[in-house]
Amino acid sequence: MAKKVAVLGAGNGGCAFAGHLATKGFEVGLYEDPKFEVEGIKEAGGIELSGKFEGFGRLSKVSTDIGEVMLGADVVMVVVPAFAQSIIMERALPYLEDGQVVVFNPDNFASLVFRKMLNSEGVKKDIKIAGTASLLYACVKISPTNVEIHYVKDVMFVAALPATDNDVVVQSLRDIYSSLVPQGNVLEVSFGNINQILHCPAAVLNAGRIEDTKGDFMFYWEGMTESVCRVMQTMDEEKIRVAEKVGFKLMSTHDYLKHFYQSEKPGIDLHDFVTHSRAHGGRGPDAPKDLHYRYVSEDVPYGLVPISLFAEEVDVPTPAIDSIITLASILNETDYLEEGRSMEELGLSGKSRTEILELIERGGR
Amino acid sequence: MAKKVAVLGAGNGGCAFAGHLATKGFEVGLYEDPKFEVEGIKEAGGIELSGKFEGFGRLSKVSTDIGEVMLGADVVMVVVPAFAQSIIMERALPYLEDGQVVVFNPDNFASLVFRKMLNSEGVKKDIKIAGTASLLYACVKISPTNVEIHYVKDVMFVAALPATDNDVVVQSLRDIYSSLVPQGNVLEVSFGNINQILHCPAAVLNAGRIEDTKGDFMFYWEGMTESVCRVMQTMDEEKIRVAEKVGFKLMSTHDYLKHFYQSEKPGIDLHDFVTHSRAHGGRGPDAPKDLHYRYVSEDVPYGLVPISLFAEEVDVPTPAIDSIITLASILNETDYLEEGRSMEELGLSGKSRTEILELIERGGR
């Protein structure tokens, strides 16, 4: 019997997962919030793929009823923007089944939020929780039923919470992610989301251009100049120092990129990579049309903010990261420190460094 | 006998002062550092004016010997970038004469640096020290001997150090600055330099565009978008709070602009003013060609940094100002906090708020 996958979220990423996994023979159900439109997919019976893959992924179910989609699923893929993760978790809660693996794509610290929710709701079912460092697909919906996939990352980093579940989770996901590489723990995975380093400073340090031209330039190739990349690089080094002090080793963003995009030229440094990568530019203007785009509204509160909070915990200064958070907040009239993931929400507030590591490694309280 | 003015510095501003004052009948000597070229002006015997004024300002002296130019001068106008102010002060020191008024255009805290120098060198001469909030002229040299003046500010704010000298200084400068308005003290003047608020955030938040296009956009009209102006506005509010806590009242940058440029539309807010002001745009691309331009290399260390240091003294948080200093430092690989004006250099380190006010108001130690 084919493995049953529930994909929660029918945006660019969710549709890519659903369509692609269906063409690969999985039995796929797709859930979307009733306030978004999935009638087109329902009528078509599936998702058309173009770009890297051609084909039609016939879905077993398309629904705005989350319970219906989760019923009997082996793997539940949560593929929604970070700000919607908690809402989806709450909706999914009553329909969880023993033995299900719930994967956050990408994690952005959601696995910790979910674990806390399961604990506080007293859920006793045997659920495995995992998160990835990045979205598997570089993709975009070109019509309501058609997803164009530009690139499938050559490596996908994943970890379970607690890390002692890594083996069983990796085993159950191996046919979904063809090049799975387990990481030490979910913090490594969430810290390892390169969007924080790539998107946030490039948006802030091009704020005037984004707003003035409404995104009429190549975000990577033209926006990530040498000086802008120097800020990225500094933020990356700050993040690596925080991780080290928390107790795990983090790769540089440049190294992550080299793993993810192995057919690209490795580049001599971050700037060289991002301004030449064909996966990231060369198809014309692609910068955000305004500063409320997820490069800021998602990646700052759900990426940079928790890292800055961890930095405070372990007493590592992160002036570059904090400056970008501060300016992004002013630019968008939104207090991202207030809005973003808090240590409380992650279930880590008041915990020592050792207790945090114990919790993510072995599930200790 | 005509009043004798020594202009120190033959850049855009210095040449505008020298040429314009000469046409107005002052006896003007012009000094420039030997490493810059003034042979052209020397041969021509003066400076050609165009733009707002037409005419030839014949100079009584053009020299790379500072003593020769300062000899017998009633007023010494220092018109050099902030980073050159200390060098000029040191060179001028041996040639100061009783009764001379030394004016820093604009001050950028130079009057405090100069006073400290006079004290530590034990200079007993009767020298009046003053500074302005801004450069009088919006101008540019279009050839080695020709300055085009776009605008003469309608109001020029000035203060003496100590403020008890305000009356005598204002009296001696009134024929030079036609619309002189004395300020409470030199801190009000230096805090009141609007370049800190206009130039620094606009450069940093357009860093990618500046570097990618080499300045091919209108810095004010296109670079100062609504969100960028929100950062300016926040920095301005921080600065006003610091001033208030130190003990003086500061106008908003928008109000300064309305005073300086009275023929412009006042605008409903800062953004409305800067994106419509004919003095600041509409003549085509004028953004800096790179990030080492004085909008960053001068205005950050000599404008924002001392304000941030005062903020620390009086315990007022300035997150937006500090974020811009941090990012500018990384963008230009220069530690502007280290390079900029220090409380030590201003002769204020270890002094209480009351001692500082006493010193700037009445010259107390």
Domain check: are B156 and B286 in the same one? no
From A268's Cα to the closest Cα of chain B, the distance in A is 19
CATH number at residue B63: 3.40.50.720
Collect all residues of chain A within an 8 Å Cβ-Cβ radius of residue B338: none
Q: Tens of pLDDT along A174-226?
A: 999 989 999 999 999 999 999 999 999 999 999 999 999 999 999 999 999 99
Domain check: are A353 and A214 in the same one? yes
pLDDT averaged over every residue in chain B? 96
Nearest Cβ partner for B226 among A211, A222, A327:
A211
Collect all residues of chain A within an 8 Å Cβ-Cβ radius of residue B209: 206, 208-209, 217, 223
Nearest Cβ partner for B212 among A225, A234, A324:
A225
From A202's Cα to the closest Cα of chain B, the distance in A is 8
Domain check: are B68 and B54 in the same one? yes
Residue contact A330–B226, C-beta within 8 A? no
ipTM topping 0.85: yes
Residue B222 belongs to domain spanning:
195-362
Domain check: are A46 and A9 in the same one? yes
Chain B touched by A332 (CB under 8 Å)? yes
Residue contact B231–A332, C-beta within 8 A? no
Domain check: are B162 and B280 in the same one? no
Residues 189-248 (A) with a CB less than 8 A from some CB of B = 202, 204-209, 211-212, 217, 222-228, 230-231, 234
Q: What is the pLDDT of residue B312?
A: 96
Q: Tens of pLDDT along B172-214?
A: 999 999 899 999 999 999 999 999 999 999 999 999 999 999 9
CATH number at residue B358: 1.10.1040.10
Residue contact B222–A234, C-beta within 8 A? no
Number of A–B residue contacts, CB under 8 Å: 106
Banded pLDDT at B278 (limits 50, 70, 90): very high
The predicted model gives B92-110 an average pLDDT of 97
Collect all residues of chain B within an 8 Å Cβ-Cβ radius of residue A324: 323, 327
Burial (CB count <10 Å: 0-12, 13-18, 19+), residue B78? buried
Tokens representing B320 are 């937006």
Domain C-terminal end among A157, A191, A225: A191
Domain check: are B232 and B306 in the same one? yes
Nearest Cβ partner for B205 among A205, A230, A333:
A205
Number of independent structural domains in chain A: 2
Q: What is the pLDDT of residue A1?
A: 57
Task: Provide the residue-wise pLDDT of chain A in tens; the chain has 365 residues.
Answer: 569 999 999 999 999 999 999 999 999 999 999 999 899 999 999 999 999 999 999 999 999 999 999 999 999 999 999 999 999 999 999 999 999 999 999 999 999 999 999 999 999 999 999 999 999 999 999 999 999 998 999 999 999 999 999 999 999 999 999 899 999 999 999 999 999 999 999 999 999 999 999 999 999 999 999 999 999 999 999 999 999 999 999 999 999 999 999 999 999 999 999 999 999 999 899 999 999 999 999 999 999 999 999 999 999 999 999 999 999 999 999 999 999 999 999 999 999 999 999 999 998 75
Residue contact B332–A211, C-beta within 8 A? no
Domain C-terminal end among B167, B191, B215: B191
Banded pLDDT at B37 (limits 50, 70, 90): confident
Q: What is the pLDDT of residue B1?
A: 57
From A324's Cα to the closest Cα of chain B, the distance in A is 7
Q: Tens of pLDDT along B114-139?
A: 999 999 999 999 999 999 999 999 99
Residue contact B208–A226, C-beta within 8 A? no
Question: Can you list the positions of beta strands (E) in A45-196?
Answer: 46-51, 55-58, 61-63, 75-78, 101-104, 128-132, 137-143, 146-152, 156-161, 180-182
Domain C-terminal end among A191, A218, A245: A191
Banded pLDDT at B365 (limits 50, 70, 90): low
Q: Tens of pLDDT along B220-243?
A: 999 999 999 999 999 999 999 999
Chain B touched by A160 (CB under 8 Å)? no
Domain check: are A330 and A272 in the same one? yes
Q: Which of B204, B206, B212, B292 is the best residue to mutate to test the A interface, defined by the most A CB atoms within 10 Å of its own CB? A: B212
